[in-house]
Amino acid sequence: MAQPNQQKFPAVQGGGSLIVAWQIKGKRVLVVGGGEVAAGRILNCLNADALVTVVSPLARLNSEVAYRVAQNEVTHIDRNFEPSDLDGADMVLVAVDDPEASSTIWKLCKEKRIIANIADVPPECDFYFGSVHRDGPLQIMVSTNGKGPRLASTIRKFIAKQLPSNAGSAIETVGQLRVKLRQIAPRPEDGPKRMAWMTKVSDAYSLSQMCELTEEDMANLLRYYPSGKVPSMDVLQSLRGNPDGSKLDVFDGSFGFSVGA
C-alpha cells in the first residue's frame, strides 16, 4: 500500500485543547463561590442559557452575584459547599480562595464523573475558560490553555478592534437566509447544494453588504438558488421594486436570472 504524501497534511501540534461551542442550555451548573471570578463564570453560563446554582454564604457574595440572586437569575444556597450539592449537577465551577477545599471538590467531581473547572488551578480542570468577544450570534474565544488569562484578554481585545462593528448583524442576516433557504429546499438530499450555494453567497458579499440585505433582497436572492448562481450586489439592489427584472438587460425569463457572480 502506497504511503500518503506527508507534506499534503497539516502537522500535529500537541499540547492544545479541543475548542468547541458547548451547548449547555437547560443543563445544571453548580458554582461554588460568590466573588469576582464566580461572577464571571455565572455570567458566561447564563449567557449560554444554563440553570445555575450558586453555593456561598450570603455575606461572601460580591455585588454582581448578589444582584443575580436578587433578580432570581440563579438559585442561591446560603452556606458553604456540601458534597450533596453535586447531586444532579452537569458541571461544577469552583471559585473559592481555599486550595484544600477546592481540591476536595475536584476529587469528588472525579468520583462522580462530573466535569469541573477549579479556578486558577489548571491541573484540576477538565476545561478552561477563554477570553470571549461577543457580538450577537458571533462569539470569538481566545485561549492560552490556562497559561496566561490576562494575555488572552489583551489578544481578544486586539482581535475585536479589527472586526467591523456590524459583524454580528451580518451573521444574523446569514442565519435568516439559511432558514428561508431550508424552507424552499427542505429535503435531506438538498443539503450539499444548499451548503455550496450559501458558501457562494458568503463569499460574494462583504459584511456591510450582508447587513444591508432587506427581506425583499433575500426573497430575490433565493430566486437564484435553483441555478446555483449568486448575483452581484448591484444586480440585487436593482431588483428592489422590480422583481421581474424588466429593467435588467440580462434576464432570460426563467426561474432565476442569468447573471451571477
Instruction: Please identify which residue in the block is written with the cell numbers 504524501.
Output: 5
Q: Are 33 and 56 in contact (CB under 8 A)?
A: yes
Give every CB contact of residue 58 below 8 A, 6+ residues apart in sequence.
Answer: 66, 76, 78
* Top-confidence residue, 211 or 61: 61
109 and 122, same domain (yes or no): yes
37 within some domain: yes
157 within some domain: yes
Tell me how far apart the alpha carbons of residues 245 and 238 are, in angstroms, rounded to a whole number: 8
Q: Are 93 and 37 in contact (CB under 8 A)?
A: no
Instruction: Round the average pLDDT of the chain to a whole number and report it.
Output: 89
135 and 125, same domain (yes or no): no
CATH of the domain at 50: 3.40.50.720
Mean pLDDT of 198-222: 91
| Residue 260 in this model has a pLDDT that exceeds 60 | no
What is the pLDDT confidence band of residue 68, given thresholds at 50, 70 and 90? Answer: very high
- State the cell numbers at 39: 461572577
Tell me how far apart the alpha carbons of residues 122 and 100 are, in angstroms, rounded to a whole number: 15
- pLDDT of the residue at 170: 87
Size (the chain), residues: 261
- Residue 56's closest CA among 252, 37, 9? 37
154 and 224, same domain (yes or no): no
Q: In what order do the strands lie in the sheet with 115-118?
A: 75-77, 51-55, 28-32, 91-94, 115-118
Give the Cβ contact number of residue 186 at 10 Å: 9
8 within some domain: no
Tell me how far apart the alpha carbons of residues 61 and 39 are, in angstroms, rounded to a whole number: 9
CATH of the domain at 211: 1.10.3280
Give the Cβ contact number of residue 124 at 10 Å: 19
- pLDDT of the residue at 196: 96
The H or E element containing residue 40 is helix 36-47
pTM here? Answer: 0.75
- Residue 56's closest CA among 95, 29, 14, 106? 95
- Is residue 190 part of the annotated active site? The answer reads no
36 and 83, same domain (yes or no): yes
Among 14-18, 27-31, 80-84, 89-93, name the one with the lowest average pLDDT: 14-18
203 within some domain: yes
What is the pLDDT confidence band of residue 43, given thresholds at 50, 70 and 90? Answer: very high
51 and 96, same domain (yes or no): yes
| Residue 250 in this model has a pLDDT that exceeds 70 | no
- pLDDT of the residue at 5: 60
- pLDDT of the residue at 2: 56
Q: Are 55 and 30 in contact (CB under 8 A)?
A: yes
53 and 79, same domain (yes or no): yes
CA angle, 162 as apex, 17 and 43 as ends, to 5°?
55
- Residue 45's closest CA among 30, 64, 35? 30
Domain enclosing residue 86, as ranges: 28-129
Mean pLDDT of 25-48: 97
DSSP summary character for residue 12: P
Residue-wise pLDDT for 139-171, tens only, equals 999 988 878 888 999 999 999 999 888 888 888
By three-state DSSP, how is residue 24 classified? coil
* Top-confidence residue, 92 or 146: 92
CATH of the domain at 157: 3.30.160
85 and 159, same domain (yes or no): no
How many domains does the chain contain in total? 3
Residue ranges in 185-249 assigned as alpha helix (H): 191-204, 207-212, 215-222, 233-238
70 and 144, same domain (yes or no): no
User: What is the tally of helices (H) and strands (E) in the chain?
Assistant: 9, 7
Give the Cβ contact number of residue 259 at 10 Å: 18
53 and 93, same domain (yes or no): yes
14 within some domain: no
Which residue in 78, 90, 98, 120 is the catalytic one?
120
Mean pLDDT of 98-119: 96
135 and 48, same domain (yes or no): no
